[in-house]
Amino acid sequence: MIVVVSESASAHDKEMIRIYLRDRGFVIREQTLGEDEIIGASGKGVADIRELSLLPGVMRVAATSKPYELASRETKGEDTIVTVGKEGFVKIGGSRITIIAGPCAVESKEQIMETAAHVRESGGVILRGGAFKPRTSPYAFQGLGMQGLEYMKAAGEAFGLPIVTEVVSPELALRMKDLTDMFQIGARNMQNFELLKKVGSLGMPVLLKRGPSATIEEWLLSAEYLLASGTKDVILCERGIRTFETYTRNTLDISAIPVVKALSHLPVIVDPSHAVGIRAKVAPAALAAIAAGADGLTVEVHPRPGEALSDGPQSLYPEQFERLMRDIEALAPVVGKELLRTPRPGAVPRGLVPPVWTAGEDAGGAPPAELPAAFSGESGAFAEQALMRIFGEEAPRLGVPSFRAVFDAVLDGTAGFGVMPVENSLAGSIHENYDLFLRYPDIAIVGELKLRIVHCLIGDEKASLENISIVRSHPQGFAQCREFLDKHPNWQLEACNDTATAVASIAREGATKVAAIAGEAAAKAHGLKVLRTGIETNPLNYTRFVIISRRNGGKVPAPPGLDLDKPNKASMVFSVSDEPGSLFACLKILSERGINLSKLESRPIQGRPWEYLFYVDVSIPHTEAAFEEAVVELRTKTRDFHFLGSYRASL
């Protein structure tokens, strides 16, 4: 049983709750879970929940049916997101996929530094490595101990990576606390309860590996020990279980991922390296884990696996790890997630204003912290979902009534960044948003994200498909669901500024004969019911969102977590003279320098009949000088040239 204490509860109120529970035979434990102060009551006690709920200071009582009360989703419905590291950027859980990588064991300062460089360059965000290695054989390499941990901490600091390492005894936990960002409880120690209690009491994030013969309930009960001892940040790690199979080191229990995520609010990651134990099989197992819903991976990487002192056969070469990261980035949008990347040194943590930004002017000055990112629409909009993928669920955000208002908010300093949809894989370009870039020359594109769009028909709790007469959505929503709408020709379509606004209007009106086309998040945000899911014409339905920011003296601040040091894509707009071969001459400038043209679209110029603007996306080659030369020459060969921005392309 869990008693959630109200914020206004006095010390006397809390003591009376404790006395009530103890008198009825319960064992008491207290801690903070998320934003709630809770009193946990376990044991064989008996209490009247209604009577308990009426005690002063009690906000609510949750009677759980699971023995792992604190870890149970019955206690906490929303997913726990664990922050790792002092900078606060690296988070595990939610809409992100977090990759932990490094060697099985720290072998030398040079080895861990070299590995950290590869992990960082490929996109890993946490460095792993064992300083203390529990081994089956007493003669095997046992790690470098505290010296190895000091090497690892130095490597993490050098490359901006939080570190995670295994703790093997309660006596070592306190000594290791200041040298690591997250403790790992290894599979052999999953039921070392004294170790769990000690590590939990330190209040740090803990990565808990499943034991090779442990059931899911035993695994969650081990997490309960950690939570009950004081930490609120536990990550569960599936690393394979022992079965009769001999072709792999262990058997990866893929089914455990969705099962545990339904039972518990804690994030779940997978260790494919220990699960299969064979280098060539690690990547397929890793991708399968992501497809099954894992919140991240911990992968063994070594610069020279053949020389590794521990687990060399299952360690990836750096180039294999880089290839895996690219595959994960491509898979992430399909499962509705985004690959988390660490910002370059000097970048701004998510949700903060870049240091070069000054609201309303280009001069210097102390920027305000926590400027929101702007999006068009109300809570639950697809643009808001894209924003959270980019900046994180906790990032401050500002919903505004129109796409133009997003530009205005960024221009006047109300928002640090904006998120705008510009193109859909089914319905094509959103021309009104492209046109806004021409009206706001001080705004530039600084990043992009492709979001999979799953449309639902949403209505009031009392609504039914048979009674619907009006459907509201953004025109793009109608276009993307054309086949479904054609089956209901009697429905009247009403256009709204965005899909979430359509949902919000139904909630405000309490309309039972009106439905909206939007995402499931909008239905949850406004307390409505999903009448039909997956109504888009083609499941390969993606919308490309761009991140916009104000130019600052010719410089463009990078969004947190997005790398502007190595842009690989650029967008521009221009017109050409009305003479034969003028457009060909422009395209030839790109072709001769090996610059790939990924998009070319024409739009009429407003107020100038039969004249057209060309919207162009290009890939920036490795030799950036060739691209810069091309832009200079394009300016001389075109009219109305606008450079919209250079940025990292989203796969």
Catalytic residue among 165, 180, 543, 638: 543
The stretch 549-558 carries a mean pLDDT of 66
| Residue 515 in this model has a pLDDT that exceeds 90 | yes
More confident residue, 556 or 134: 134
Q: What is the pLDDT of residue 492?
A: 96
Q: Can you tell me the mean pLDDT for 380-385?
A: 92
Q: What is the pLDDT of residue 4?
A: 86
User: 282 or 356: which carries more pLDDT confidence?
Assistant: 282
Could you tell me the CA-to-CA distances from 115 to 265, 270, 315, 316, 448 in Å, in that order?
32, 20, 12, 11, 29
Mean pLDDT over each residue of the chain, to the nearest integer: 88
Q: Which of 33-67 are b and which e, b meaning 16 or more Cβ less than 10 Å from the residue's Cβ?
A: beebbbbbbbeeeebeeeebeeeebbeebbebebe
Please write the tens of the pLDDT for every residue from 54-68: 899 998 887 777 888
Q: Which of 89, 545, 574, 614 is catalytic?
A: 545
> What confidence tier does 173 reach under pLDDT thresholds 50, 70, 90?
very high
pLDDT at 10 over 70: yes
Mean pLDDT is lowest, of 73-87, 149-163, 218-232, for 73-87
In the chain, the amino acid numbered 187 is A
Q: Are 205 and 82 in contact (CB under 8 A)?
A: yes
Determine the average pLDDT of the residues in 92-104: 94
Residues 6 or more apart whose Cβ sits within 8 Å of residue 448: 544, 545, 546, 547, 569, 647, 648, 649, 650
What is the band of 503 on the pLDDT scale with cuts at 50, 70, 90?
Answer: very high
Token pair 């759980």 is found at 64
Structure tokens of 29?
């434990």
How many angstroms separate the Cα of 260 from the Cα of each of 27, 62, 201, 215, 233? Answer: 26, 20, 24, 11, 16
In three-state secondary structure terms, 557 is coil
- Reported as a single tens digit per residue, the pLDDT across 329-338 is 889 888 888 8
Identify the pLDDT of residue 141: 85
| Section 245-257 average pLDDT | 95
Domains annotated on the chain, with CATH: 2-62 (3.30.70.1140), 82-339 (3.20.20.70), 456-540 (3.40.190.10), 566-651 (3.30.70.260)
Catalytic, 543? Answer yes
- The tokens describing 624, both together, are 């950036």
Could you identify the residue written with the tokens 């509705």? 336
The listed range with the strongest mean pLDDT (64-68, 214-218, 228-232, 645-649) is: 214-218
Q: Give the CA dihedral 457, 463, 467, 472, nearest 10 degrees.
A: -40
Give CA–CA dist 532/522, Å, rounded. 14
Segment holding 542, helix H or strand E: strand 542-550
Stronger pLDDT, 556 or 377, i.e. the higher one: 377
pTM given for the model:
0.73
Residue 445's pLDDT is: 93
Give the residue, 230 or 62, on which the prediction is more confident: 230
Query: What's the whole-number mean pLDDT along residues 411-427?
Result: 91
* Residues forming a β-bridge with 28: 41
545 included as an active-site residue = yes
Residue 424: closest CA among 410, 439, 434: 434
Neighbours of 87 (CB within 10 A): 15
Query: d(Cα 220, Cα 587) in Å, to the nearest integer?
Result: 60
Is residue 140's pLDDT more than 90?
A: no
Give the DSSP H or E segment for 42.
strand 36-42
C-alpha to C-alpha distances, 186 to 164, 515, 608, nearest whole angstrom: 12, 51, 69
Which value, in Å, is the radius of gyration of the alpha carbons in the chain? 27
* pLDDT given for residue 47 in this prediction: 84
Confidence (pLDDT) at 553? 54
Residues 581-625 have pLDDT tens digits of 899 999 999 999 999 999 999 988 877 787 888 999 999 987 778
Mean pLDDT confidence for 214-232: 94
Examine the pLDDT at 554 and tell me if it is beyond 80: no
pLDDT of residue 33: 67
Give the model's pLDDT for residue 43. 67
Q: Which residues contact 194 (CB under 8 A, 6 or more apart)?
A: 170
Amino acid identity, position 575: S
The whole-angstrom separation of Cα 126 and Cα 100 is 5
Please state the rounded mean pLDDT for residues 326-349.
Answer: 73
Dihedral-angle region of residue 59 (phi above 0 means left; psi in -120 to 50 means alpha; beta otherwise): alpha
Note whether 223 and 266 are within 8 A (CB).
Answer: yes
CA-CA-CA-CA dihedral for 251, 217, 289, 240, to nearest 10: -20
- Taking the C-alpha atoms of residue 583 and residue 572, their distance in angstroms, rounded to an integer, is 14
Q: Coil, strand, or helix at residue 461? A: coil
Residues 116-127: tens digit of each pLDDT: 999 999 999 999
Residue 401 has pLDDT above 70, yes or no: yes
Q: Is the pLDDT of residue 349 over 70?
A: no
Report residue 484's pLDDT band, with 50, 70 and 90 as the boundaries.
Answer: very high
* Range 342-355 average pLDDT: 39
Residue pLDDT, tens place only, 24-40: 888 787 777 666 788 87
Q: Is the pLDDT of residue 548 over 80?
A: yes
Residue 394 has pLDDT above 90, yes or no: no
Residues listed for the chain? 651
Q: Average pLDDT for residues 312-331, to the nearest whole number?
A: 94
Exposure string of 371-390, with b = 16+ CB inside 10 Å and e = fewer, is bbbbbbbbebbbbbbbbbbb
403 has a pLDDT exceeding 50: yes
Q: Which two structure tokens, joined as six digits, stand for 129?
A: 């490595």
> In the prediction, which pLDDT does 360 show?
34
Query: Among 198-202, 520-524, 602-606, which stretch is predicted with the lowest mean pLDDT?
Result: 602-606
Q: Do residues 14 and 57 lie in contact, with contact meaning Cβ atoms separated by under 8 Å? A: yes
pLDDT exceeds cutoff 50 at 352 = no
CA distance 522 to 500: 6
CA angle 388, 394, 397 (to 5 degrees): 65
Higher per-residue pLDDT: 543 or 650: 543
**CB distance 111 to 120 below 8 Å:** no
